[in-house]
């Protein structure tokens, strides 16, 4: 079933066009990987899905992006509600310089999700457990989140993202700043999370895309060159450019 349906999305930074007529169907409760060389527009596309491009003043988005028949690219859309439903994990772990507890509790607090302290404690615990961080931090929830290791910080950010039970989580190269062990932990986590949420992940690592995703989209120079089941993209792509990129001939 399709969760997000993008049609003819064009993105401009001032007069420079960054995305050309991108149309893509993102399926529910699956991991969709977006790959491609640097500057190909995959992160730009990802940021259209939770309207983070609004922050960039010169950025203009055209076309239609529908999530469950809700038009995302509309002035009338309440971005606060959207972002409650579409969480995001960034390239560099960016926990707030607050305690671990406060980091996870922030989303539920501003969205008024927890009614009581006990409920909040429960949300924090569940989120940290889902992010496979609970056992490591349960005795030091009042320590500053930025004091954790890189991998732990990234898992804390994932816990923060899932604390408001989003339907979609966007991940922008979540492992590029992490070592192989931390990367493996995150990948395992992604595998677990996809039972409940739709995940869109931008990655530079083709092996990672192959490992975690069910669908893969290949971007090049702002265009979506090919999109399909991960197996097919990696084993038997239709397009020559995809073939060349997968086999490491460019990019």
Partner 1 sequence: MNSFKKNLLKKRYNAERRFQWYGKIAIGLALSFLAVFMFQIFSKGYSAFQKTWIVTEVHYDKELLLIDAESPSKDDLENADYYDVAYKAMTSLDPGLPEEEDRQLIQMVSYKYEAEVKDLLLKNPDYLGKIVPIKLTASDDVDQVHKGNYPRDIPEENRRVNDYQLQIYDMLNERGDILLEFNISFFTSPDSREAELAGIASSFMGTVFSILVCLAFSFPVAVLAAIYLEEFAPKNKFTDFIEVNINNLAAVPSIVFGLLGLGVLLAVFNLPRSTPLVGGITLSLMTLPTIIIAARASLKAVPPSIREAALAMGASNMQTTMHHTVPLSMPGTLSGTIIGLAQALGETAPLILIGMVAFVNTIPGTPVDPAASLPVQIYIWSESAERGFVEKVSACIMVLLAFLILMNLTAQIVRHKFEKKWS
13 binds partner 1 (CB under 8 A): no
Q: How far is the CB of 133 from partner 1 (least distance, A)?
A: 17
The stretch among 21-29, 127-135, 153-161, 243-251 that binds partner 1 (CB under 8 A) is 153-161
Burial of 90 (0-12, 13-18, 19+ CB in 10 A): middle
Contact 158, 100 (CB under 8 A): no
Contact 169, 88 (CB under 8 A): yes
Q: How far is the CB of 80 from partner 1 (least distance, A)?
A: 5
Beta carbon nearer to partner 1, 19 or 161: 161
Distance (Å, whole) CA 123 – CA 55: 29
Tell me which of 120, 157, 201, 209 binds partner 1, using CB under 8 A. 157
- Alpha helices by DSSP H, the chain: 42-48, 79-85, 100-110, 117-130, 134-137, 150-162, 180-193, 206-212, 230-235, 240-246
Tell me which of 29, 96, 221, 243 binds partner 1, using CB under 8 A. 96
Which x/- pattern over 130-149 shows residues binding partner 1 (rule: CB under 8 A)? ----------------x---
User: In the structure encoding, which two tokens stand for residue 15, read together?
Assistant: 């007069």
Residue 75 backbone phi and psi in degrees, to 5: -60, -30
> How many residues bind to partner 1 according to rule CB under 8 A?
27
Which x/- pattern over 28-57 shows residues binding partner 1 (rule: CB under 8 A)? ----------------------x-x--x-x
Residues that bind partner 1 (CB under 8 A): 50, 52, 55, 57, 79-84, 87-88, 90, 92, 94-97, 106-107, 110-111, 146, 157, 160-161, 164
């Amino acid at each position: 079933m399709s969760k997000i349906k993008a049609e003819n999305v064009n993105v401009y930074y001032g007069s420079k066009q960054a995305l050309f007529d991108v149309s893509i169907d993102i399926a529910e409760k699956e991991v969709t990987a977006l790959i491609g060389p640097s500057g190909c527009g995959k992160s730009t596309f990802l940021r259209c899905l939770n309207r983070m491009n609004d922050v960039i003043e010169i950025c203009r988005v055209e076309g239609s992006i529908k999530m469950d028949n809700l038009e995302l690219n509309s002035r009338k859309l309440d971005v606060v509600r959207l972002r409650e439903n579409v969480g995001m994990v960034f390239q560099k772990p960016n926990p707030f310089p607050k305690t671990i507890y406060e980091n996870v509790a922030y989303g539920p607090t501003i969205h008024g999700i927890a009614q009581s302290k006990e409920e909040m404690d429960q949300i924090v615990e569940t989120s940290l457990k889902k992010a496979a961080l609970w056992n490591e931090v349960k005795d030091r929830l009042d320590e500053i989140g930025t004091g954790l290791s890189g991998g732990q910080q990234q898992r804390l950010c994932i816990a923060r993202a899932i604390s408001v039970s989003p339907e979609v989580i966007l991940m922008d190269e979540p492992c590029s700043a992490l070592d192989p062990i931390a990367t493996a932990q995150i990948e395992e986590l992604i595998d677990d999370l996809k039972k409940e949420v739709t995940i869109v992940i931008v990655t530079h690592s083709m092996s990672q895309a192959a490992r975690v995703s069910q669908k893969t989209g290949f971007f090049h120079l702002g265009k979506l060159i090919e999109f399909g089941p991960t197996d097919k993209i990696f084993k038997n792509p239709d397009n020559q450019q995809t073939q060349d990129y997968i086999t490491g001939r460019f990019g």
